[in-house]
């Protein structure tokens, strides 16, 4: 309430303290977990051609202000996945625009820092990472690449895939991925490429964030978002290997990671006193309980800041009305 003094002057408020990282984390968890409270949502999302938009990653197109998504869908004709591009003006209705790759899945898109767009995905056969650079938005719409790179396996002889992109340009890409460790279970890694060669390093701190919460299955997809000046990583984690009912999400950040043993650079070691991550509680309309492939992007819609999320709900652990790709967004409250 604004109080007006009798002399005509107005009271002014003092400086507002910046929220702590814990407060920001709680706000973000409220947005991602409360799907019934979303500003807009749609389950089992498809494009206008009827393709499932599985594992969709959404961005806002700088040139047009519309939204773009890359995703994969299953073709009965070829018995394989394809990666496609679709666009939307409202985040819920999508128009197919181009197929970017075949025998491919788990795509991710990022605007390049020197203009254009970079897309990464998991390519078959010999599951490995593949990258494409599109110099302009028009090039993307026509599937016309300027640069491409296929990263042959380094950390696993079986599979490397499900990339996310931390930063990208026509010169270098910094990305995360998982590798099939000992051909038994997925573990976390990070890589860079100059579009000619590439390097990869295991990310033991992310593995530990899940392992020391009791997750003993695959540690798969990851998504990073900077929200109110703090970086958060969502981590797809599985309690029991090969049991899709047990996939959940954890969140990792600088404060939570500080609980871990300082100076750890290799291996898993002993468990810290407190787990270096927090559980992400997810609530759907019909109480689905297994979730994979979370993506998150801050966008502007109808002149308001919002976060748009993508989550895949598997058949195992998903309610019939909710199985498939879920897209939802939430208007961000102003401080």
pLDDT digits (tens, 9 = 90+) for 205-226: 999 999 999 999 999 999 999 9
Place of tokens 């895949």: 312
The rounded radius of gyration (Å) of the Cα atoms in the chain is 21
DSSP secondary structure code for residue 8 in this structure: S
The model carries a pTM of 0.93
Query: Do the Cβ atoms of 170 and 157 come closer than 8 Å?
Result: no
Mean of the pLDDT values across residues 118-134? 98
Q: Is the peptide bond before 136 cis (omega within 30 degrees of 0)?
A: no
3-state secondary structure of 31: helix
Q: Which of 334, 335, 328 lies closest to 34 in space, CA to CA?
A: 328
Helix extents (H) in 79-231: 137-141, 204-211
**Averaged over 99-114, what is the pLDDT?**
98
Give the CA angle between residues 285, 52, 148 to the nearest 5°.
Answer: 125
Instruction: Please name the residue that has the structure tokens 């797809």.
Output: 236
What SS3 state is found at 36? coil
* For the chain, percent of residues with pLDDT exceeding 90: 87
- Spell out the CATH class of 21-331: mainly beta
Helix (H) or strand (E) holding 85, with range, is strand 80-88
The domain spans of the chain are 21-331
Task: Write the burial class of residue 77 (CB in 10 Å: 0-12 exposed, 13-18 middle, 19+ buried).
Answer: exposed
**pLDDT for the residue 10:** 40
pLDDT at 103 over 90: yes
Q: How far is residue 77 CA from its own chain's centroid? A: 29
Which of these, 129, 180, 137, 175, lies nearest to 158 by C-alpha position? 180
Q: Give the per-residue pLDDT at 2.
A: 32
Strands 219-227 and 278-279: unpaired
| Residue 325: per-residue pLDDT | 98
Give the ranges where the chain is alpha helix by DSSP (H): 21-33, 137-141, 204-211, 254-257
The predicted structure's pLDDT at residue 290: 98
> Could you give the residue ranges of the DSSP H alpha helices within 212-326?
254-257
Q: In which residue are the tokens 């019909």 written?
A: 286
Q: Determine the pLDDT at residue 265.
A: 54
Q: What is the pLDDT of residues 252-273, one digit of tens each?
A: 999 999 988 765 555 677 778 8
pLDDT for position 262 = 60
């Amino acid at each position: 309430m604004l109080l007006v003094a009798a002399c005509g002057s107005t009271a002014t408020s003092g400086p507002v303290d910046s929220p702590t990282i814990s407060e920001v984390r709680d706000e973000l968890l409220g947005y991602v977990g409360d799907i019934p409270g979303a500003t807009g949502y749609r389950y089992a999302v498809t494009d206008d051609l009827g393709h499932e938009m599985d594992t969709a990653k959404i961005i806002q197109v700088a040139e047009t202000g519309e939204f773009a998504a890359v995703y994969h869908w299953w073709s009965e004709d070829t018995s394989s996945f394809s990666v496609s591009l679709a666009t939307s003006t409202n985040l819920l209705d999508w128009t197919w625009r181009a197929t970017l790759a075949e025998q491919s899945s788990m795509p991710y898109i990022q605007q390049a820092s020197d203009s254009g767009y970079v897309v990464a995905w998991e390519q078959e056969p010999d599951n490995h990472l593949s990258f494409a650079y599109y110099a302009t938005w028009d090039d993307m719409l026509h599937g016309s690449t300027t640069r491409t790179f296929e990263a042959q396996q380094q950390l696993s002889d079986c599979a490397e895939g499900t990339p996310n992109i931390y930063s990208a340009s026509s010169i270098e890409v910094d990305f995360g991925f998982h590798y099939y460790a000992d051909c038994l279970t997925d573990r976390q890694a990070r890589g860079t490429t100059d579009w000619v060669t590439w390097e990869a390093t295991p990310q033991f701190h992310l593995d530990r964030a899940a392992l020391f919460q009791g997750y003993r299955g695959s540690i798969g997809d990851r998504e990073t978002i900077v929200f109110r000046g703090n970086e958060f990583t969502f981590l797809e984690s599985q309690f029991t290997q090969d049991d899709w009912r047990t996939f959940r999400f954890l969140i990792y950040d600088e404060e939570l990671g500080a609980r871990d043993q300082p100076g750890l650079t290799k291996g898993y070691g002993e468990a810290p006193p407190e787990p270096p991550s927090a559980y992400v509680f997810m609530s759907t309309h019909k109480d689905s309980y297994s979730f994979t492939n979370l993506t998150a992007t801050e966008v502007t819609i109808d002149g308001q800041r919002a976060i748009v999320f993508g989550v895949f709900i598997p058949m195992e652990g998903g309610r019939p009305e909710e199985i498939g790709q879920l897209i939802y967004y939430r208007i961000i409250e102003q401080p």
